[in-house]
Amino acid sequence: MRQFFYDADFMNAEGHLLKSHLDAVERQLLATSQIPANSGHTLHRGTPREAFIKQFLTGHLSAKLAVGTGEIIDANSTPRQQRNQFDIVVYNSEYPKIDFGGGISAFLAESVIAIIEVKSLLTAAEIDTATKSAARAKRLQRNLLSSFSMGWVPPGIISILVSYNGPAQISTVQSWLLAAEAAQGLNRALLPPTRDERSRIMCESIDAVICLGMGTIVFDVFPISFVTDEGRATYPQSKRMTTQSPEGNLLWLFLLLTQAASNVSAQWPNLAAYLQNTPMQGKFVP
């Protein structure tokens, strides 16, 4: 399947302060990631690298967003039910979280803006696992009430995969992702022909793969994109935008999350849903 592919020349263009800053941070993250490389246990290599991404997010994202680690629950979740633990959960800071201790929390599905998985080395197996985790998170029930909104409000939880190392070509990662989705029956339907229509569609798996120092893949449902509606009409089967570049990848992570938080929305959770499966009973007393 043909994808929208953009040359590295645009992403390497200098002259914009935001891109220049984030490119410097991207290089710093790649350099710092070598510090735990000599550890003898994979967990001791992966955990610090997750922490580096968390530090970047907390230092750059809006105060509307908070960053944590743990699992996501909805009104149907039960005790000891098997759930995915996510490396990074970006959630609405005005919502509560359930503290399990040791820095691990449970987050209400209604509060979660994005989940981010961090991989030291990206492989086909990691893509397959991350795709399954993303699909499960997106199937959680979100009981939200709203009266109005301005700006882009994501139609569901955003899933992002960040890697420090992987194959030399972003096209290889793209082929892994497409194969994983095909095996799991995800994102089969054609996307609508315009950006406005696509922005109301929820990706069924991974929204973006950010390969630091290498390239980026973005599912074409975000308001920000290199793709025009003319390009979408020319290639109606294309669903992703792909860039091969040693820079500009952290910029995409920043922009996608910032766009998701840049809205005015009168939206709140229907917390009554969390009572529906409890054994509690009440009486109406006159």
Q: What DSSP letter does each residue of 93-159 carry, written as one string?
A: TTS-EEEEETTEEEEEGGGEEEEEEEESS--HHHHHHHHHHHHHHHTS---EEEEEEES---SS-EE
Q: What angle do CA 149, 155, 156 make, to 5 degrees?
A: 130
Instruction: Give the pLDDT score at 8.
Output: 46
pLDDT digits (tens, 9 = 90+) for 107-142: 999 999 999 999 999 999 999 999 999 999 999 999
| Average pLDDT score over the chain | 91
Whether pTM > 0.75 for this model: the answer is: yes
The yes-or-no verdict on residue 94 having pLDDT over 80 is yes
Burial class (CB in 10 A: 0-12, 13-18, 19+), 119: buried
Of all residues in the chain, what percent carry a pLDDT higher than 70? 91
Tokens of 108: 């209400």
pLDDT recorded at residue 16 = 85
Domain range list for the chain: 4-63+116-138+154-263
* Identity at 228, one-letter amino acid code: T
Query: So what's the pLDDT on residue 15?
Result: 60
Q: pLDDT tens, 207-265?
A: 999 999 999 999 999 999 989 999 999 999 999 999 999 999 999 999 999 999 998 88
- pLDDT band, residue 43 (cuts 50/70/90): low
